[in-house]
Each structure stands twice: as C-alpha cells, then as structure tokens.
Amino acid sequence: MLFQPVSEGASGVHIEQMDRHGAVARMLVYLWLRPMRSTAIAEIWTQLIQPARAIGRNDNFFEIGGHSLLALRALRKMEHKLGVKLELHVLILDHLADIAIRCQSKRAVQGTA
C-alpha cells in the first residue's frame, strides 16, 4: 500500500492511501503522539551527533552534522525505539517534524499506532 500525507491540521494528518488495485481511501491520522515521536527522534540524533545546540523540528540529520555511517545507526535506533523501518533517503531529504509524521503515518497504515 502507498500512502501520501495530504494536509496537516490541529487534529492530525489527512492521509490518502492507495491499495494495489488503485482504490484510494482517505483517513485522518491523529498525531497526539507526534511530539513524543519527535522527542524520541531528537534524542537519538543528539546521542549520535552531539550537536552544539538543541535539535529542533525543522532540523535535517545531515545539516546538523550527521553522516552516512551515523545515519545507518540512527535508522536502526529509530526502528528499535519507534517500531518503524525507514529508508536512508528519509534522513537525507526530510526534517525531523516530517520524519515524525512519516513514522506516525506508517504505524497507522500498519495498524500499530
């Protein structure tokens, strides 16, 4: 199944989900856990990168000093702590807040939110 965040509101993120037959279903993923996920991700990044300042929701892993070997470790730690397997390109392209949304969305699609 493919899913794509459509919009974010105060109550959650609207997701479009497409199954293998091309049918689209819309759902609302509640993100009351997102701050907790953002905090967990920031803690993992801080342990690995040890930046000079606090990590914020608009930070990108590589822009704050991460590199490919640390990225692989971060992905492994995030999978262990959050229960979501992410691809390397997520750390390259996305900011922390986007990654937290992606984790929540994946867990919702997997039925483990």
> Residue with structure tokens 């899913």?
3
Q: Which tens digit of pLDDT belongs to each residue from 39-84?
A: 899 999 999 999 988 998 899 999 999 999 999 999 999 999 999 9
Q: What's the CA gap between 106 and 77, in Å, rounded?
A: 16
Q: How confident is the model at residue 35 (pLDDT cuts 50, 70, 90)?
A: low
Instruction: Give the SS3 label for residue 5.
Output: strand
Q: What is the DSSP secondary structure assignment for residue 95, as one 8-state letter?
A: B
Q: Are 91 and 74 in contact (CB under 8 A)?
A: yes
pLDDT value of position 108: 62
pLDDT value of position 20: 52
Q: What's the CA gap between 26 and 1, in Å, rounded?
A: 13
Q: Where are the domains of the chain?
A: 33-110
Domain 33-110, CATH class in plain words: mainly alpha
- Residue 91 neighbours by CB distance under 10 Å: 22
Q: What is the pTM of this model?
A: 0.67
Residue 12 has pLDDT above 60, yes or no: no
Please give the C-alpha separations between residue 89 and each of 9, 17, 81, 92, 94, in angstroms, as whole numbers: 25, 21, 19, 5, 8
Q: Which tens digit of pLDDT belongs to each residue from 85-113?
A: 999 999 999 999 999 988 887 776 666 55
Please give the C-alpha separations between residue 64 and each of 2, 17, 77, 88, 107, in angstroms, as whole numbers: 30, 32, 18, 16, 27
pLDDT value of position 106: 78
pLDDT value of position 61: 97
